Amino acid sequence: MLLKRFLLPLVAIVAGLGASGPGFAQQPSIIVASTTSTEQSGLFGYLLPRFSAATGIAVKVVAVGTGQALDIGRRGDADVVFVHDRPAEEKFLGEGFGVRRFDVMYNDFVIAGPKADPAHIAGDKDVTAALRAIAAGKATFISRGDRSGTHEAELRLWREAGIDLETIKGPWYREIGQGMGAALNMASAINAYLLTDRGTWLSFKNRGDLIVLTEGDRRLFNQYGVMLVNPLKHPNVKAREGQAFVDWLISPEGQTTIAGYKVNGEQLFFPNASH
């Protein structure tokens, strides 16, 4: 009996060593630094299980603003970046941190706001006119203020509207330093305007009195791109597995999968990979 009590724990220890030893094949995995919109829209919840089933590669997503995602790539703390701010992506490539950039998909931005529409922008397809009206009326506007692709797009649109935010912004313009979901929740709570990507908007359940007021301007086009982080800069990058993710996203299978993601029958992202 004493011998048996000694041998059972020993067997368990040996079995445990075998499970983590040289003969144990762990599932390959990668880290993808991406935007909150791809996460909060539900796209990754739909897309990644299908990628993993096709390739056997697991994916961990770090969902932050595009600026932060690119910084994670610069530090070598991700294998792939999947983002939506073309100027920032080109800078990342120019600095040598990305191998090659590929278009993956697009949707668009919209300005949402309260049904009461105190700035009177409903139906205005000119986004710069809508922003000028919001600023002139000092209607409450929520800005992500987080260096995300959406935030950078918002700042570009204010500039195109001829508005110097540093000069005119006051209590009506609220920078929250948070993701798209948090910005939508705040806008809903206080009946404010904001710029949102359509994917997250369509997935957002807590709309309250918010509706889409301005849409359709070509300047609201929202392109997403993907890049493998350069393994020559960071040898720890899992180049084979990361490139497999990039290749799958732009393949016919990946593109069809992206097109297949819908909320209430409405397609959120439109594939447009070019090889």
Q: Do 114 and 153 have their domain in common?
A: yes
Q: Do 185 and 127 have their domain in common?
A: yes
Any residues with CB less than 8 A from the CB of 171 and at least 6 apart, and which?
Answer: none
| pTM beyond cutoff 0.75 | yes
Q: Which of these, 98, 99, 161, lies nearest to 130 by C-alpha position?
A: 161
- The CATH number of whichever domain residue 205 belongs to comes to 3.40.190.10
Q: Do 250 and 234 have their domain in common?
A: yes
Tens digit of each residue's pLDDT (9 = 90 or more) over 11-52: 444 344 444 444 445 899 999 999 988 998 999 999 999 999
Segment 176-184 mean pLDDT: 94
Q: Do 95 and 148 have their domain in common?
A: no
Q: Is the pLDDT of residue 1 over 90?
A: no
Q: Is residue 20 part of a domain?
A: no
Give Cα 84 distance to the centre of its chain: 7
Q: Is the pLDDT of residue 80 over 90?
A: yes
With residue 62 as reference, give the H or E element that holds it.
Answer: strand 58-64
Q: Which long-range contacts (CB under 8 A, 24 or more apart) does 254-262 make?
A: 254/47, 254/51, 255/105, 257/46, 257/47, 257/50, 257/51, 258/43, 258/47, 258/104, 258/105, 260/46, 261/42, 261/43, 261/46, 261/47
Mean pLDDT of the chain: 91
Q: Is residue 249 part of a domain?
A: yes
φ/ψ region of 185 (left if φ > 0, alpha if ψ in -120 to 50, else beta) reads: alpha
Contact 214, 110 (CB under 8 A): yes
Range of the domain at 195: 108-220
Any residues with CB less than 8 A from the CB of 93 and at least 6 apart, and which?
Answer: 100, 101, 227
How many folded domains does the chain comprise? 2
Query: What's the distance, Cα to Cα, between the start and end of the chain in Å?
Result: 68
Q: Is residue 163 part of a domain?
A: yes
Q: Do 37 and 97 have their domain in common?
A: yes
